[in-house]
């Protein structure tokens, strides 16, 4: 199509402090097209997104909307030009209801005689949510939702304004497979209606499945583009990294005796209590749909929540976790699902975030040794290849993937023998993802114990020895992921979604 | 090659901007004020008057150290002024009415401050009452008790030895000033060079994340309140010693000034960011404004207007800087 219906980033250059984040970058999307924006962590994707949506004004360059050049000064301007966005981080009002959030950026929320009409708002929200197949009560407070539901609410909010162009910055990072395919379906519909969609993602499967074009940024410059006919996982990976990417093999070693055993965790009143066992050197995955109880299992195992009655046995000794402090003293490191909300102190330095869990080892008589702390952070920087200017810079200024590596660095330095990880590679690029996987496998080879949850089934398949499948607050299946009969992706999806299966399993066990 | 350049330029750029934008505003304002006041009034620029400024900054400074801890860890202590009043009054009563030796009276005063801090901490961090509300309550309570104990009058008849604690000179400076400087130094060392300090910042920066990293969040918050309470107690004892009387009525403005000094210095009211050096400059700024207006013969009520104006100015500049 002509430039009359397109959104173009023209010659964008932007610096943060002295560092060049984007260097004469060009990018465009036409109406009725899905253009994937790819690149490693810190390549500049989110920066470009923020520029296209007026959240950031570039040092130079223009945003050209339908042939007309703009220097966008604020998000409102972009909204008025028909540009909608869902940012990488959450931008929701946690204390407001789902409906209020959906209408929070709408210029015309439903009203009667100048008063906001809640009932209409709930009704319209319900309709919108239902058209997505999202089962969330519009009256529910957003703080009670989980990460995936929040993401979907943000997408609904962006769609409410019927934007001509929709920019989605890693929308699927928090979604499990069923929701991901639902979201991809919606994007497909939008394309059919003539909307131009920019999709930022690290999941190459999605790109191959749905995008028309893909363009990668590398260190803030255009690294090239591919069109749909040229797509393959290999070609896309190559485009991003600039070299061949190895195929992952998964753990080859055989785990030792039982290390951690969680029992008697009652997630729902009518459900069987959950029991999870992980051996020393074993990598165990827990998967399930939204609301199946995966996060409760993880939070209980890490001591982040104190579930009543649940017992955790470590090396044969039994505990009832009362606090995170207690779990940590037993060698359990925890990587939460939302590293920004509950994982990192964003304004504190990389060094402090790395050392926070065991400051005692970097201090003498209570006085912190900046040198020791800095050295520890340098070590984890080397080990995980964390891209940063200085270990004293605030974690906030790192890209998402690098922030995730700081989380891993913390527990590595802390000497934890058990890692409880939610979404090990959420928002992490393919290179970093493989590094994290390699680290976890070598951690396990040396006797470390890993319990992780992931919505990315490929990740589960290349990382786990065994897979616990959850449904409605129960463990419905435990799958062996080693040897010849490893479950396929389809088999996993089916195991998660098949509710009849639960009844069957129950009968067998009773 | 280019990566290296990038690293250097970025770090350099950062340092520079941090230096100019954040840490120089209040000191700059201070210097300007000093110059202007020296030109306007011949009395202002003298060692004697500078000593006086520090004395004026004394009580405020000690209280502001406590306030800094509580604000950085993400809470707020509105009871500080009342704490000063009550611990000062009880010190005076212990010495003048109960006729206890003055060091014992002083220790009792400190204990009262500590107790108020402890109650604030228990209420906010273990019972999860919002700090704003808990400390508002204890503040009203404490100042009520102070007024009740004294029937609203000041208590006189304190020994000279006790007064010397605050007014006795050492190396040309009054005891109160030394106590204030010592509080800043000790407070600063603990806040900026110890594990406890890092944890205070972490709890203020992100409570949930700190918890997940194994920080005893409730304990850290409790300790910050206790430190604030102790500072309040110390300020109360020294104030009583300086004016030779228990003063039940000083509470509200002191709380506000202390909080203003902290924020003026550039410590974030949202927690997780700040420093005691900044608070020190904030305290000096307020003291210099008050002193300058004193010298110029401006009424006390108008001084308050001026302090308010300076505070709003600094807050605006802070907000504008953050937006950029
Ligand atoms: N506010 C900021 N201040 C300083 N540097 C920043 C800021 N925001 C981003 N950067 C830097 O700009 C570069 C690009 O970051 P950006 O967030 O655009 O990466 P990204 O491609 O979205 O990465 P990810 O896949 O991890 O989300 C990174 O080096 C990052 O550290
Ligand atoms: Mg990004």
Same domain, A69 and A209: yes
Same domain, A429 and A366: no
Same domain, A225 and A367: no
* Per-residue confidence (pLDDT) for residue A505, from 0 to 100: 36
* Per-residue confidence (pLDDT) for residue B323, from 0 to 100: 59
Domain-located, residue A1: no
Query: How many other C-beta atoms can be found within 10 angstroms of the C-beta atom of residue B103?
Result: 12
Same domain, A505 and A410: no
Domain-located, residue B1: no
Same domain, A142 and A198: yes
Q: Report whether pLDDT(B182) > 90.
A: yes
Domain-located, residue A246: no
* Per-residue confidence (pLDDT) for residue A466, from 0 to 100: 96
Q: Which ligand is nearest the CA of A45, by number?
A: 1
Give the helix ranges, DSSP H, for B160-216. Answer: 160-167, 175-193, 195-205, 207-212
Domain-located, residue B286: yes
How would you class A261 by CB atoms within 10 Å of its CB: exposed for 0-12, middle for 13-18, buried for 19 or more? Answer: middle
Work out how many domains chain B is built from and give that number. 1
The model's pLDDT over A239-262, given as tens digits with 9 standing for 90+, comes to: 998 887 777 888 999 999 999 999
Higher local confidence (pLDDT), B55 or A489: B55
Highest mean pLDDT among A132-141, A209-218, B312-321: A209-218
CA A483 to the chain's CA centroid: 29
* Ligand 1 atom having least distance to the Cα of A40: 25
Residues 6+ away with beta carbon under 8 Å from B216: A325, B199
Query: How many other C-beta atoms can be found within 10 angstroms of the C-beta atom of residue B68?
Result: 33
Query: How many other C-beta atoms can be found within 10 angstroms of the C-beta atom of residue B215?
Result: 25
Same domain, A445 and A473: yes
Residue B265 has which token pair?
């210095």
Domain-located, residue A161: yes
Work out how many domains chain A is built from and give that number. 3
* Per-residue confidence (pLDDT) for residue A113, from 0 to 100: 65
Shortest CA distance from A360: residue in chain B:
B195
* Per-residue confidence (pLDDT) for residue A437, from 0 to 100: 94
Residues 6+ away with beta carbon under 8 Å from A253: A281, A444, A445
- Per DSSP, what are the bridge partners of residue A480? A466
Domain-located, residue B83: yes
Specify the DSSP element, H or E, that contains B230: helix B217-243
Domain-located, residue B13: no
* Per-residue confidence (pLDDT) for residue A503, from 0 to 100: 34
Lowest-pLDDT choice from A8-22, A347-361, B237-251: B237-251
Predicted confidence band of residue B27 (pLDDT cuts 50, 70, 90): confident
- The answer to whether residues B92 and B155 touch, using CB atoms and an 8 Å cutoff, is yes
Domain span at residue B203 reads: 19-319
Q: Report whether pLDDT(B233) > 90.
A: yes
- The answer to whether residues B49 and B199 touch, using CB atoms and an 8 Å cutoff, is no
Predicted confidence band of residue A488 (pLDDT cuts 50, 70, 90): confident
The model's pLDDT over A29-47, given as tens digits with 9 standing for 90+, comes to: 999 999 999 998 889 999 9
- Phi, psi (5° rounding) for residue B132? -55, -50
Domain-located, residue B3: no
* Per-residue confidence (pLDDT) for residue B15, from 0 to 100: 35
Same domain, A203 and A217: yes
Domain-located, residue B147: yes
Domain-located, residue A337: no
E strands, A280-326, in order: 283-288, 311-314, 317-319
Same domain, A55 and A84: yes
Q: Which residues surround ligand 2, an ion (CB under 5 A)?
A: A 45-46, 88
Neighboring chain A residues of B214 at a CB cutoff of 8 Å: 324-325, 328-329, 356-358
Higher local confidence (pLDDT), A65 or B249: A65
The model's pLDDT over B42-66, given as tens digits with 9 standing for 90+, comes to: 888 888 888 889 998 999 999 999 9
Strands A449-453 and A466-471 turn out to be unpaired
Query: How many other C-beta atoms can be found within 10 angstroms of the C-beta atom of residue A32?
Result: 16
* Mean pLDDT score of chain B: 86
Predicted confidence band of residue A498 (pLDDT cuts 50, 70, 90): low
Same domain, A352 and A266: no
Q: B214 and A359: CB-CB below 8 Å?
A: no
Residues 6+ away with beta carbon under 8 Å from A380: A354, A386, A405, A406, A408, A409, A410, A412, A413
Domain span at residue A219 reads: 6-241
Q: Which of A173, A208, A241 is the last residue of a domain?
A: A241
Which of B59, B228, B246 has its CA nearest to residue B147?
B246
Same domain, A235 and A191: yes
Q: Which ligand is nearest the CA of B6, by number?
A: 1
Lowest-pLDDT choice from A212-216, A410-414, B237-241, B289-293: B289-293
Query: How many other C-beta atoms can be found within 10 angstroms of the C-beta atom of residue B72?
Result: 27
Q: Report whether pLDDT(B307) > 90.
A: no
* Per-residue confidence (pLDDT) for residue B251, from 0 to 100: 66
Higher local confidence (pLDDT), A377 or A505: A377
- The answer to whether residues A78 and A157 touch, using CB atoms and an 8 Å cutoff, is no
| Arithmetic mean of pLDDT, A10-27 | 92
How far apart CA B76 and CA A295 sit, in angstroms, is 33
Same domain, A391 and A458: no
The model's pLDDT over B111-142, given as tens digits with 9 standing for 90+, comes to: 999 999 999 999 999 999 999 999 999 999 99
The CATH number of whichever domain residue B127 belongs to comes to 1.10.3470
Domain-located, residue A404: yes
Q: Which letter does DSSP use for residue A281 in this model?
A: T
* Per-residue confidence (pLDDT) for residue B19, from 0 to 100: 41
Q: How many CA atoms lie within 13 A of A343 on its CB side?
A: 27
Q: Which ligand is nearest the CA of A16, by number?
A: 1
Cβ < 6 A, ligand 1 pocket: A 16, 21, 39, 41-47, 88, 397-401, 427, 429
Q: Distance from A221 to chain B by nearest Cα, in Å?
A: 14
Q: Report whether pLDDT(B9) > 50.
A: no
Same domain, A86 and A211: yes
Residue A245 has which token pair?
């990417």
Q: Report whether pLDDT(B259) > 50.
A: yes
Higher local confidence (pLDDT), B187 or B317: B187
How far apart CA B203 and CA B273 sit, in angstroms, is 11
Q: Report whether pLDDT(A193) > 70.
A: yes
| Arithmetic mean of pLDDT, B224-237 | 97
Q: A363 and B214: CB-CB below 8 Å?
A: no
Alpha-carbon separation of residue A141 from A108, A294, B129 (angstroms):
22, 21, 21
Q: How many CA atoms lie within 13 A of A357 on its CB side?
A: 31
- Phi, psi (5° rounding) for residue B165? -55, -40
* Mean pLDDT score of chain A: 89
Neighboring chain B residues of A347 at a CB cutoff of 8 Å: 205, 272-273
Domain-located, residue A336: no
| Arithmetic mean of pLDDT, A465-494 | 89
Domain-located, residue B14: no
**Residue recorded with tokens 């309550």:** B137
The CATH number of whichever domain residue A128 belongs to comes to 3.40.50.300
The model's pLDDT over A89-112, given as tens digits with 9 standing for 90+, comes to: 888 898 889 998 988 877 666 666
Higher local confidence (pLDDT), B215 or B16: B215
Q: Report whether pLDDT(A132) > 90.
A: no
Q: How many CA atoms lie within 13 A of A85 on its CB side?
A: 25
pTM given for the model: 0.83
Q: Distance from A261 to chain B by nearest Cα, in Å?
A: 21
- The answer to whether residues A343 and B173 touch, using CB atoms and an 8 Å cutoff, is no
The model's pLDDT over A284-294, given as tens digits with 9 standing for 90+, comes to: 999 998 788 99
* Per-residue confidence (pLDDT) for residue A3, from 0 to 100: 60
Q: Which residues of A touch B (CB under 8 A)?
A: 16-20, 302, 304, 324-325, 328-329, 334, 336, 341-348, 352, 356-360, 363, 366-368, 389-390, 393, 410
ipTM of predicted assembly, 2 dp = 0.82
Domain-located, residue A298: yes
Neighboring chain A residues of B208 at a CB cutoff of 8 Å: 341-342
Q: Report whether pLDDT(B198) > 90.
A: yes
Q: Report whether pLDDT(A229) > 70.
A: yes
Which of A44, A76, A39 has its CA nearest to residue A58?
A44
CA of A411 to the centre of ligand 1 (A): 24
Strands B173-174 and A332-335 turn out to be unpaired
Predicted confidence band of residue A387 (pLDDT cuts 50, 70, 90): confident
């Amino acid at each position: 199509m002509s430039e009359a219906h397109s959104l173009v980033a023209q010659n964008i250059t932007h610096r943060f402090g002295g560092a060049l984040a984007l260097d004469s970058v060009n990018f465009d999307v036409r109406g009725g097209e899905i253009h994937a924006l790819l690149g490693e962590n810190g390549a500049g994707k989110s920066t470009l997104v923020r520029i296209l949506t007026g959240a950031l004004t570039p040092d130079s360059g223009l945003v050209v909307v339908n042939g007309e050049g703009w220097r966008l000064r604020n998000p409102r301007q972009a909204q008025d030009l028909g540009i909608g966005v869902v940012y990488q981080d959450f931008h929701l009002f946690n204390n407001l209801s789902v409906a209020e959030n959906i209408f929070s950026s709408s210029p015309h929320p439903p009203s009667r005689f100048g008063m906001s009409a809640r009932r209409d708002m709930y009704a319209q929200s319900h309709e919108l949510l239902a058209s997505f197949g999202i089962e969330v009560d519009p009256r529910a407070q957003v703080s009670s939702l989980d990460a995936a539901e929040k993401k979907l609410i943000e997408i609904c909010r962006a769609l409410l304004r019927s934007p001509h162009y929709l920019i989605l910055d890693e929308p699927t990072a928090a979604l499990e497979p069923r929701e991901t395919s639902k979201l991809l379906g919606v994007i497909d519909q939008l394309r059919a209606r003539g909307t131009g969609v920019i999709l930022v993602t690290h999941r190459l499967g999605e790109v191959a499945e749905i995008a028309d074009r893909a363009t990668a940024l590398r260190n803030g410059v255009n690294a090239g583009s591919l069109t749909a006919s040229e797509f393959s996982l290999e070609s896309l990976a190559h485009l991003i990294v600039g070299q061949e990417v190895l195929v992952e093999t998964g753990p080859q070693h055989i785990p030792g005796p039982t290390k951690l055993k969680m029992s008697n965790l009652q997630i729902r009143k009518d459900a069987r209590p959950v029991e999870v066992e992980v051996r020393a050197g074993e990598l165990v995955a827990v998967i399930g749909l939204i609301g199946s109880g995966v996060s409760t299992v993880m939070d209980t195992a890490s001591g982040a929540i104190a579930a009543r009655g649940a017992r955790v046995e470590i090396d044969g000794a039994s505990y009832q976790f009362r606090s995170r402090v207690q779990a940590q003293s037993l060698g359990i490191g925890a990587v939460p699902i939302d590293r920004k909300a509950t994982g990192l102190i964003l304004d504190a330095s990389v060094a402090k975030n790395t050392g926070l869990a065991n400051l005692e080892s970097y201090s003498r008589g209570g006085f912190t040794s900046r040198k020791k702390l800095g050295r520890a952070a340098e070590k984890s920087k080397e080990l995980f290849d964390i891209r940063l200017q200085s270990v004293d810079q605030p974690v906030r200024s790192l890209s998402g993937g690098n922030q995730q590596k700081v989380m891993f660095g913390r527990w590595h330095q802390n000497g934890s023998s058990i890692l409880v990880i939610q979404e090990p590679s959420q928002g992490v690029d393919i290179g970093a993802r493989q590094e994290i996987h390699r680290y976890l496998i070598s951690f396990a080879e040396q006797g470390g114990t890993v319990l992780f949850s992931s919505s990315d089934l490929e990740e589960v398949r290349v990382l786990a020895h065994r897979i616990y499948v959850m449904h409605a607050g129960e463990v419905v299946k435990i799958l062996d992921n080693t040897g010849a009969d490893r479950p396929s992706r389809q088999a996993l999806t089916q195991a998660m979604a098949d509710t009849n299966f639960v009844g069957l399993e129950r009968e067998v066990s009773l | 090659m280019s990566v290296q350049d990038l690293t250097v330029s970025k770090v350099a750029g950062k340092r520079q901007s941090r230096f100019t934008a954040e840490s120089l505003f209040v000191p700059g304002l201070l210097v300007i004020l000093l110059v202007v006041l020296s030109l306007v009034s011949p009395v202002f620029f003298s060692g004697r008057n500078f000593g006086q400024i520090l004395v004026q900054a004394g009580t405020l400074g000690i209280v502001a150290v406590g306030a800094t801890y509580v604000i950085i860890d993400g809470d707020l202590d509105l009871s500080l002024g009342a704490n000063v009043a009550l611990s000062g009054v009880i010190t005076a009563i212990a010495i003048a009415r109960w006729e206890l030796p003055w060091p014992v009276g002083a220790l009792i005063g400190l204990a009262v401050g500590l107790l108020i801090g402890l109650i604030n901490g228990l209420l906010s961090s273990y019972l999860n009452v919002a700090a704003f509300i808990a400390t508002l309550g204890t503040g009203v309570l404490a100042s009520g008790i102070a007024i009740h104990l004294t029937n609203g009058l000041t208590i006189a008849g304190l020994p000279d030895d006790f007064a010397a604690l605050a007014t006795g000179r050492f190396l040309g400076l009054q005891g109160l000033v030394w106590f204030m400087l010592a509080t800043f130094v000790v407070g600063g060392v603990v806040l900026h060079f110890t594990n406890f300090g890092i944890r205070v910042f972490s709890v203020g920066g992100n409570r949930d994340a700190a918890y997940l990293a194994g920080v005893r969040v409730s304990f850290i918050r409790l300790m910050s309140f206790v430190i604030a309470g102790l500072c309040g107690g110390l300020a109360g004892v020294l104030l009583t010693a300086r004016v030779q009387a228990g003063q039940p009525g000083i509470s509200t403005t002191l709380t506000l000034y202390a909080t203003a000094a902290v924020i003026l210095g550039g410590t974030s009211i949202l927690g997780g960011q700040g420093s005691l050096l900044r608070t020190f400059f904030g305290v000096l700024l307020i003291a210099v404004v008050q002193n300058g207006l004193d010298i110029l013969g401006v009424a006390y009520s108008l001084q308050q207007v001026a302090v308010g104006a300076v505070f709003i100015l600094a807050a605006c500049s802070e907000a504008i800087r953050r937006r950029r």
